[in-house]
């Protein structure tokens, strides 16, 4: 088994960043992953960065149009950029400059407010969305543990077969690590085991339960495949599970091509 792709997601629920290598901290988080997010105003003041559920953020779960964004974050210059769909302007600025953050929030909210079916449009959350996070600490994962996640390409292919589609983009699942060289769904049997990836060792904590975000096709921003239903009704899972979370035993770096083995 070996690593075939690596990803991180600097802005929560925004498109993934492809990486040649990812650095893992001592607490098991991917450096630069989920370090920023757009959170509803009624979640609390922007300087309060305690963990909250995804329902308090602009999220693919309820706003599939987020998949259409193109974005980036440079951790060295600490600048963010976002290209909105069907608009020529690029939102860009320093997260350390209050004026830039306000302008980024204003332009993003102007676009987001036009989307139907969002929690704010339904009266469940309050606009404006606030840009939160210090750009360094990963605080905005779907779980408070914020662990590294892994899936296999074999499981992905078997899921596509069960859904009767040609292929399924792994970007739907927002994993950090994709591997190949095992049997389909083999990784779901690993919780409680120890795994070595390159020079790093991890404990496999648990399987990852999926939500409506996985129904969104990353290029079109449309819900097109019932991923959760395929996992439960067709594959036969009790709950929709795809990928596993890992607890790092020591900090380190993972590269594409690194070997993977259960130890």
The pLDDT tens digits of the residues spanning 243-257 come to 999 999 999 999 999
Tell me the pTM.
Answer: 0.95
pLDDT surpassing 90 at residue 124: yes
Identify which of 14, 53, 233, 246 has the alpha carbon closest to the alpha carbon of residue 144: 53
Mean pLDDT value of segment 108-134: 95
Q: State the pLDDT at residue 241.
A: 98
Note whether residue 8 is domain-resident. yes
99 and 15 co-located in one domain? no
Q: State the pLDDT at residue 88.
A: 78
Pick the last residue of a domain from 132, 163, 191.
132
117 and 246 co-located in one domain? no
200 and 156 co-located in one domain? yes
82 and 12 co-located in one domain? no
219 and 185 co-located in one domain? yes
Asked if residue 187 lies in contact with residue 208, where contact means CB atoms within 8 angstroms, the answer is no
Q: State the pLDDT at residue 89.
A: 81
Q: Tell me the residue range of the domain where 79 lies.
A: 37-132
pLDDT surpassing 90 at residue 79: yes
Pick the last residue of a domain from 74, 103, 132.
132
46 and 23 co-located in one domain? no
What is the Cα gyration radius of the chain?
A: 18
Q: Which pair of tokens denotes residue 197?
A: 């990836």
Note whether residue 138 is domain-resident. no
Q: State the pLDDT at residue 64.
A: 95
73 and 24 co-located in one domain? no
pLDDT surpassing 90 at residue 52: yes
44 and 18 co-located in one domain? no
For the chain, the domain total comes to: 2
154 and 24 co-located in one domain? yes
More confident residue, 88 or 220: 220
109 and 176 co-located in one domain? no
Residue 107 zone, left/alpha/beta (φ > 0; ψ -120 to 50; rest): alpha
Asked if residue 196 lies in contact with residue 250, where contact means CB atoms within 8 angstroms, the answer is no
pLDDT surpassing 90 at residue 86: no
148 and 169 co-located in one domain? yes
pLDDT surpassing 90 at residue 87: no
Q: State the pLDDT at residue 27.
A: 87
Q: Give the CATH number, domain containing residue 168.
A: 2.40.33.20
155 and 239 co-located in one domain? yes
């Amino acid at each position: 088994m070996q690593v075939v792709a690596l990803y991180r997601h600097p802005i929560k629920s925004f498109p993934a960043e492809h990486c040649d290598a990812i650095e893992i901290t001592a607490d098991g988080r991917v450096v630069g992953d989920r370090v920023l997010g757009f959170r509803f105003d009624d979640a609390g003041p922007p300087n309060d960065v305690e963990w909250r559920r995804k329902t308090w953020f602009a999220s693919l779960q309820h706003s599939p149009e987020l998949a259409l964004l193109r974005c980036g974050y440079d951790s060295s210059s600490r600048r963010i950029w976002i290209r909105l769909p069907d608009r020529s302007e690029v939102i860009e600025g320093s997260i350390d400059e209050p004026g830039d953050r306000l302008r980024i929030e204003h332009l993003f909210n102007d676009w987001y407010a036009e989307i139907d079916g969002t929690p704010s449009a339904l009266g469940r959350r309050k606009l404006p969305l606030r840009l939160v996070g210090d750009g360094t600490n990963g605080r905005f994962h779907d779980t408070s543990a914020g662990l590294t996640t892994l899936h296999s390409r074999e499981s992905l292919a078997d899921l596509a077969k069960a859904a009767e589609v040609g292929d399924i983009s792994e970007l739907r699942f927002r994993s950090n690590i994709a591997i190949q060289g095992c049997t389909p769904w083999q990784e779901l049997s690993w919780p409680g085991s120890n795994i070595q990836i390159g020079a790093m060792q991890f404990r496999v904590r648990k399987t990852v339960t999926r939500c409506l975000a996985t129904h969104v096709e990353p290029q079109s921003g449309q819900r097109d495949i019932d991923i959760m239903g395929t996992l439960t009704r067709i594959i036969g899972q009790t709950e929709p599970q795809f990928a596993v979370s890992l607890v790092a035993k020591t900090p380190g770096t993972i590269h594409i091509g690194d070997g993977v083995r259960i130890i």
